Structure 1
Amino acid sequence: MRDRLIASDHLQGVMFQAMSFSDYGVSPGNLKNFWRDKTFHERFAEADDEDFPDLNSPVFIDSGGFKLMNSNTFGEAPEEGGTKNEWGLYTNPKSILGLQIDFGADIIATLDYPIPPKLREEEKFERMERSIDSAVECLRLLDNPVDLITHFEENDIPLHTLNDWIDSDDKPGVYVALHGHDYETVNWYVGTFIERLAEADVETQPDGFAIGSLVPLRSSVDVLVDIVQGAKDAIPEDRADEMGLHVFGIGGKQVSLLALLGVDSFDCSSHMQSAKFRKYLHPETWENIHLDDLEVEGTDYPCNLEHCLLCQGDSEYDTSYEEMQSVLNRDFSYDERERRKDNDEPIKSDYYALLARHNFEVYNDELQRVRRHINEGNLLEYVVNFAREHEQIKTGLEQAQIRDKSLRNDIEQLGAYDLLPGTELRSDQKKLSDWDGGVDESDETRSISLEYGPHSFDVSTRSYTPPADRDVCLLIPCSQQKPYSESRTHSVLADKLGKHKSRIHKVTVSGMYGPVPEEFEEEKPVLEYEYVLAGEDERQIELVTDRVLRYLEKHGDNYDEIVGYVTSKTYRQVIEDALEEYGRGQVLPRDPKALQLTEFFRNENIEELTDFLAATAE
């Protein structure tokens, strides 16, 4: 596949994983003195072989975080208290960045610490913090490469490419690798990194973010959309155009929808994985058809893609369906394989490569089509038409509109009312926790329904009295994850409140229902609704504000203190207006640096709340 694709004029780029050498039985000496001796570009340029033409496309090298997580060989460096190993390679930014530079990366992804399934909550966020620190350290090293040289010298790594790189000051583009299982977590991750980078006063700035752990979600596009929106929304508006967004392992028919939501680049190996199982990707239906079930006569494949060597018959081999099937279904002895290779006759690998190339061309054709629609300014129209043909994309487009009200307005302007969020019960939605490589927070999937409206739950219509033993009413915004108490925002705040929790009666402000006292969190309408309050939803803002006010007028005297803790703009407006009208209570933090989700987690803001609670307890 490599030999049949590298030479292609329309190759966009190459993705490589820095730790891939560990799959090939490479010795420590061979890694140091051969693999790292020349960059990929240099090796291709020097090779006197038609199979290895010049590599004129950019090479994007991932850090290999998943490989390192599952290896006991590459631990902490000696200067960090670890043990020296014969590879001179360790799980830290210096080692991995040095390896990426030696391989000749044009773009790198920072070293990350992936989150395995069922990891304890405190360990999960510890690893996320380490990934953020690693990204900041990587950028610092690009500012001060002398620390890289010291690391190489202390670990007996020859200064092959590194010296030339330092002399040329040719820094690679940097994408910050990130992981997250929902909107809130990814949003926190991006916002926290941006904040941490500003505090570090680093000159080299990242070119964007690269979202990992997405491969299992290719068929769960609604969760994919949620994660992408979480990352995109956390990037400051004044930097949105300069910060790229890459998705690891995603391509194909999701490209148009994700590009519409702000994704800039993709990498994918599905064309290879499908070919391995003899699957042919139909360019019109996007169905992966096993070769045994493919209806073809001769070379009359259902594909007219210009660069497809299989379907256009541009290969040096007989590409008829019958011949390909004949070769793939035969068991060649070693001697026969060698004889066929000597006589330039195809062996199985040749046809697997042609099949993979076909699948790749289907993906690449869609990518070029999306590029064209972006340039012509009509990508939304294309996605709308595509969604009508593909239920998965329709589901994702509906999900995107729940958070992005401007997208919903644009779709209404097109008259595509059939693609607005509807009333169909979607009980098959999955979370990242349901897939390998994700974070398991629950053994069950949460059903959601878009049939709920503001009158599906209204606490003012219930016969209800707040608990008598709680003297503080804490108003906080709702979360997408249900029940609220299991969400990132609510659980982190609960942990930080510590001894004060016994005084607090939590009342969540739902964008759909208004006040939801904690006793009602697991009622079906509260568990299954899917709605985010947006600034342009003026009538809904008025309804929610009125309901919060009615709750306070009815139950406010049950509390000694009423406090709202909120950093998102629209929900803060609701709580502030309700408290002002009621005439009692206050909103914290008093002066957040920005009105966005990341401020919710800032320690100094949470401390402002705990200090308030401590003062009112005296």
Structure 2
Amino acid sequence: MTRFFEVTHRDGAARLGRILIRGGVETPYIERTHESIMVNEGNALLHEQISCAIDSVNILPYIGLPYHAPKGLINFFAPLARDKMEMEAPVGVVVHPDWHVEGADVYVMAGARAIEGDARALLDSIIKIRASSKPDTALYVPALATPENLSLLIYLGADIVDDVLTTAKAYEGLYLTQDGEFSPGELFDLPCSCEVCRNNTPEGLRSMRAKERFELLAKHNYLRLEEELKRVKLHIRRGMLREYVEKQCRSRPWLTALLRLADAQYDYLEQRTPTYRSSRMLACSAESQNRVEVRRFAQRVKERFRSNGDILLIIPCSARKPYSASQSHMALASALGKYKNYVHELILTSPLGVVPRELELVYPAAHYDVAVTGVWDLEERQWVSGCLRDYLDTHSFKKVLAHVDGPYVEVCKQSGHEMVFTSRGRITSEESLLSLVEHVRAAVDELGTKPRSAKDLMLDLFRGMADYQFGAGNGELLVPEDATVKGRYPRYALFGGREQLCSISPDYGSLSLTLEGAKRMRLEPDYEVTIGDFVPKGSVLAPGIIGASLQIRPGDDVLVKGPKAIGVGKAKMSGYEMVGSTRGMAVELRHVERL
């Protein structure tokens, strides 16, 4: 655990933080030789520790073995890297990914420059170092950052980079941008408005003395790196770094490969990704289908959500969210009239797969936007049809009606389940709507299905959201039969008698529990945080946490319990961070009760 590093914002594995020296150094940070916050003690075979600078990060003497070093050497030097650190100042250690070193504030990846372009090696190094270090420690990836790759390095978990590579590129005569690197001879204009580019031209750079040109290129390259860092910080604060990375990774094939390989390491990213957030999720590339939020949503629908009824109506998604506010869905509801209460609705969509009507307000179902072309590629069709197949396999509907057109028809057929197609061309055409109503009426008459009342529909909404958010079965525990719903769509509040149990927070796409609502459900152990012998006020900081479920993610509502108090609030960090950190807000409390 560190005394000198604190995380302040999270966006997946990317973080904003502070190194607690010199009044607070904000991370992600670019280390510069002439403005260094590091004291490098050098090679351990040549030097012993000689300094203890309290206003700098002291990099202990090290053996810097590259990623592909022989296993024998890695094992031989590993004990040297495990020396205890007892300095009263920030400590940094240079580590090979296979070493486990405790007690440092900053971990420096050894040999990072040697694995530029090797996506597997770089990803493996970051994941291993992160897994073996405490969550409130910083990761320094040296000699690797450029304006092209900076966003992806930070997205994967780097907190500190440097200007070594941008300077080296300058002395190779290379002009760097976020889109690539160029020699001055390739440029007709300087596509930048920094101080260097405003006062020079490509012809001028080519004609000046080499030393002067190198210095100007180094300055430009650093300014571009600094500008990119500011852009990345902005996206982290907005909770939208993933969207930027999906765009930026296309500047080089190895960066695209790095993102795709990272998505395959689902557990690493999922453990750090919020379950709910207020920002929109933009699905603009093929990689969007593999992001954590999409896969987690599909998994929870499959494992947690259950709908009991006779008739399932499958319909397409809409551009407007929530779906029920769209013109197409309102047209369907108007045409169905009273028969809407006889069916359970399921919306087909890419990239989320399937969205039960009860979950249309949940993040990210109500918070995503996708490029609409009317054409689905093979991977999209396979993914959505697979989600539909899973949904139908885990439910026992007696009749399945598919009111779809275009590519949705093929998706439904690929599910392998029997269903009746009711659309006659465009789903909102008069002929299609008449066909839909006729098929629903016939199914109701055939099965003797009973309608759900308006109250039943509202209570099913809360039950479905509770099951999705806290696990199957919690909806029945939260929502009593005599429950009432107050408020206007979508800001509903659920009451049991006079006690409010929860409310829907449409901004975040989740239920906000009251203490009474939390007590009714089985939140232990999956959503429970144990605190010490005190009564919290406003928030619970990480040092006050005794235990927390490893299932907790940022954004989850959690039950907080201790000897003197019980409360409910929103998790601000993952469960593993709560128990492994010494700084930072762990839970933002909503209600507290003394015991």
Compute the TM-score of the two structures, normalised by the length of structure 1.
0.38
Which protein is richer in helix relative to its size? 1
